[in-house]
Structure 1
Amino acid sequence: MSGLIDSTKNLWRKSMRLKESPYKEQKVPLECEASDPTRPGPDRFVTLAVVGCGQRGKAYSKYALRSPNRCKVIAIAELRPNTRKQFAALHKVDNTLVFDTWQDLLAASAETISTIGKRLADAVIIAVQDHLHAEVTAAFANQGYHILCEKPMATSVQDCIKMEMSIKRTGNIFGMGHVMRYSPYSKEITEIVRSCALGELVNLVQIEPVGYNHFAHSYVRGNWSSESTSSFSLMTKCCHDIDLICHWFNPATPLKVSSFGSLKHFQKSSKPKAAGSAVRCLDCPVEKDCPYSAKKVYLDPVSHGNIGWPVETIVDGLPDIENVTEALKNGPYGLCVYESANDVCDNQVVNIEFSNGATASLTMVAFTSAICERETRMHFTHGEIIGNMSTFTVNDFRKRTSKVHHPVNEGGGHGGGDMGLIRSFVDAVGERHQDILGTDINEILKSHLTVFAAEKSRRSGNVVDCVAFEKEARDACTEVEA
């Protein structure tokens, strides 16, 4: 394997000694790979490039450290210098394959393809900000890379459809960051659903308790706080809830959807009067009594040695008292949650009717002590499943039995879903079979369109026909392309 990686590095160094040529989009045959295509499928070693080395990029790339016999990160692109340096050191990425921007990585890849007929890696993990997903995916897909893209696909209906077109045109393996369906918990439930042991699934109720501090961090102060720079919160937080619900009801598809929700609390009108004119938590006279105090969320944990999430996300490099204090004094994470420029819903409900007459509902709410520990009730014709992402109880009406299941979490985020997804993706790339991922671009797009339809319902106050919504979206995209 070390020889394989060295070979890739040498190919890149050799190409850089050749005369530079401008980047041109090109479709490269899938046989033209950085690793050896003659190796047997299941054992084939997979090389990865990571675009975006933040929290999600780190989460997916942990598999390369756990299973060095299966895959390795050999190239990265990351804007933040300290984060880039630490990530490169952790994965022992050669300096010639460390880039500041995804455009630099793309250009280097184009150079190696045009001069020596080799890509830099087999696949690309895309973990940049949501609004860049479509552009970055299309660019690397056009060069023939297999793609694992963090959720959501994109922030507009048109971009989601364009991504589908890019993937279908190139025929690449495509994975989506819908990690919930890959956890041992979800996979065991899926097996029961598919077995029909409890009869037909008739109704599903899911609650997504975001967590009061998690919501304040990500959706009030953070990167997903504004629709104009990211997207609406149902998409950025719950697109994989909708995906999992659709997955469990498959082959039935969403027929109609309705939704209600609002930004109820995190706005200036909810600010305590005693806070006065304070704009930042460090200057607030009632900070000690506020559950959303930035000092409590970020600074106090660091003083006790906790440098993990969420504080690790607000600075470039390792958090310490000095750089975290600086971030709270000058950055968005130190702002009062009632003075922030957020505009996304902090509570929302979605109701779905499926093509077979089954129904489902999803509740997303910020105001919980639990952080993303979904609660699920599934009602079948002959039984029910009640779960909480850690354990689930199966009640069989016919057998008059009740059994508690304790799926083994192998570690990693989302109940083991992060690790399950990246393992499945690496296997799919190694064996050249999309089916290993248990989904495809068509299913991924359909669940995203259901989320967009739900948001349209919330805004319009009307029930939305999902079939008509998809047709209108595709027609509009075709007109733009023409």
Structure 2
Amino acid sequence: MTTVALIGLGNRGFDAYGRLISEMPHLGRVTHAVDALPGRLERARRLFGLGEDALFAHWDAFFALGRVADAVVIATPDDQHLEPTLKALELGYHVLLEKPITLREADLEVLLAAERRSVGRVTVCHVLRYTPFFSKLKAMVEAGAVGQLVGIQHTENIAHWHFAHSYVRGNWRSTRFAAPMLLAKACHDLDILRWLVDSPPRRVSSQGSLHHFRPENRPVGATDRCLDGCAVEASCPYSAPRLYLTGDLAAWPTRVVCDTPERAAVLEALRSGPYGRCVYACDNDVADHQNVLVEFESGVQVALTVSAFTQHNTRTLQIFGTHGELRGDLERGEIEWHDFRTQEHHRISVPTPRGRGHAGGDERLVRAWLESLADHAELRTTLAASIDSHRMAFEAERARLGTALQGESV
């Protein structure tokens, strides 16, 4: 059984990876926890049965103990991934690293070099490679279902309310302290495209901007906060009370707003915290609609669209080949296969676990990671395998900024 320390106890570190490890006691056990917030440490103490000597406010104090576990999960904020990962590798820990890997392209090589020097290995949380849906598509492409692969059209549909939560009000709203939207959200998609094509990228271009969530689009009568008597709150598609107070208060995304699943506590968080702000009066600067074109060394061309202005929270794609076409919808777990050779049309239903995080990808990643630490099996998302997704994102962002209109906020 693998012993694991959790570094970062937020939505991903605690609610995803930590809980999943606790549900696999035959494979792993959480033995230490690190977070700056005492309330999160207390939650970890209760759930994992930890003593006070296993709780740390900073990773320096934990690493000062030496190598006291087999592996670490690093799910700190985006700008705090590099340092603890380097320290973990120096001590020989295996690392499960939340994406994005780093916020600077040069640091990718720094991490690769550190991993080469270490007995520890880094696994990146590109969870989509582990979903039943994308695993099925990969198998079909490799089996020749579409003949020679020519191109892919992929769309990351960020539901309008999800974008407002994460990229207007939330932790990934600004490149001043987080990754650009493409890297933060769509490095998953770039990774899936790289995996499906199975070829290094050759050229990347991109266009996109912050279209809507800007002060000049603020409706007449809107207040700085939704609960401050806003005249348009009831009809606003981005109403904070509607998003955070009408469902299960212990579920995502409300649990990100407030650790206490009680109406009074959530209301107070909306009155004073970032999630109660008007979406037209935030400090956001990331693009809300972006297109990326990638040509791979194999000649395959892909087009990725990432948009806030969608109803569904899903990923859809169309795969073009010389002998067939595949169309898929992750949320529905459906694949359509048109075989040009036989003129047959097949509908394939892929079991898609509900409520298990990223269509089952979270659970399958954690299980595969823990099993690999026991039997040394190769994983799908090693550091080396995952880096091209970030290289494409950095290149796309350079291209986007190079084509931005003069004076535009980007």
Q: Distance in 2 between matches of 1:410 and 1:336?
A: 34
Q: Partner residue of 1:469?
A: none
Q: Percent identity?
A: 35
Q: Distance in 1 between matches of 2:351 and 2:176?
A: 40
1:382 maps onto 2:323 in alignment: yes
User: Which letter maps to 1:290?
Assistant: C
Go from structure 1 to structure 2 and tell me whether the alpha carbon gap of 1:140 and 1:102 turns closer, same or farther (over 3 Å shift): same
Q: Distance in 2 between matches of 1:247 and 1:262?
A: 27
The 8 Å contact of residues 173 and 432 in structure 1, kept in 2 or not, is answered as no
Deviations 1:163-202 (A, max 9, x none): 2222122142221111111101111111112222431211
Q: Distance in 2 between matches of 1:408 and 1:91?
A: 30
Q: Distance in 2 between matches of 1:419 and 1:218?
A: 22
User: Which letter maps to 2:54?
Assistant: L
User: Which letter maps to 2:212?
Assistant: H
Q: How does 1:147-296 map to 2 (within 5 A)?
A: 147-250=95-198, 252-275=199-222, 278-283=223-228, 284-296=230-242
The 8 Å contact of residues 141 and 172 in structure 1, kept in 2 or not, is answered as yes
For structure 1, list consecutive stretches of 5 or more residues without a partner in the other structure. 1-44, 111-118, 463-482
The 8 Å contact of residues 173 and 429 in structure 1, kept in 2 or not, is answered as no
Q: Partner residue of 2:407?
A: none
Deviations 1:111-152 (A, max 9, x none): xxxxxxxx2211101111010011111111111000010111
Question: In terms of Rg, which structure is larger?
Answer: 1
Q: Partner residue of 1:416?
A: 360
1:402 maps onto 2:345 in alignment: yes
Q: Partner residue of 1:97?
A: 54
Go from structure 1 to structure 2 and tell me whether the alpha carbon gap of 1:401 and 1:226 turns closer, same or farther (over 3 Å shift): same
SS in structure 2 of the partner of residue 199 of structure 1: coil
For structure 2, list consecutive stretches of 5 or more residues without a partner in the other structure. 405-410
Pairing partner for 2:244 from 277, 283, 298: 298
- What is the TM-score with the length of structure 2 in the denominator? 0.94
The 8 Å contact of residues 260 and 266 in structure 2, kept in 1 or not, is answered as no
SS in structure 2 of the partner of residue 375 of structure 1: strand
Pairing partner for 1:444 from 374, 382, 386: 386
Cα distance, 1:440 vs. partner? 2.8
1:357 maps onto 2:305 in alignment: no
Cα distance, 1:397 vs. partner? 1.5
User: Which letter maps to 1:294?
Assistant: A
The 8 Å contact of residues 213 and 297 in structure 1, kept in 2 or not, is answered as yes
Q: Partner residue of 2:261?
A: 319
Cα distance, 1:325 vs. partner? 1.6
1:50 maps onto 2:9 in alignment: no
Cα distance, 1:410 vs. partner? 4.2
SS in structure 1 of the partner of residue 292 of structure 2: strand
User: Which letter maps to 1:306?
Assistant: L
Q: Distance in 1 between matches of 2:142 and 2:119?
A: 28
SS in structure 1 of the partner of residue 350 of structure 2: coil
Q: Partner residue of 2:408?
A: none
- What is the TM-score with the length of structure 1 in the denominator? 0.80
**Structure richer in strand, relative to its length:** 2
Q: Distance in 1 between matches of 2:279 and 2:184?
A: 19
**Structure richer in helix, relative to its length:** 1
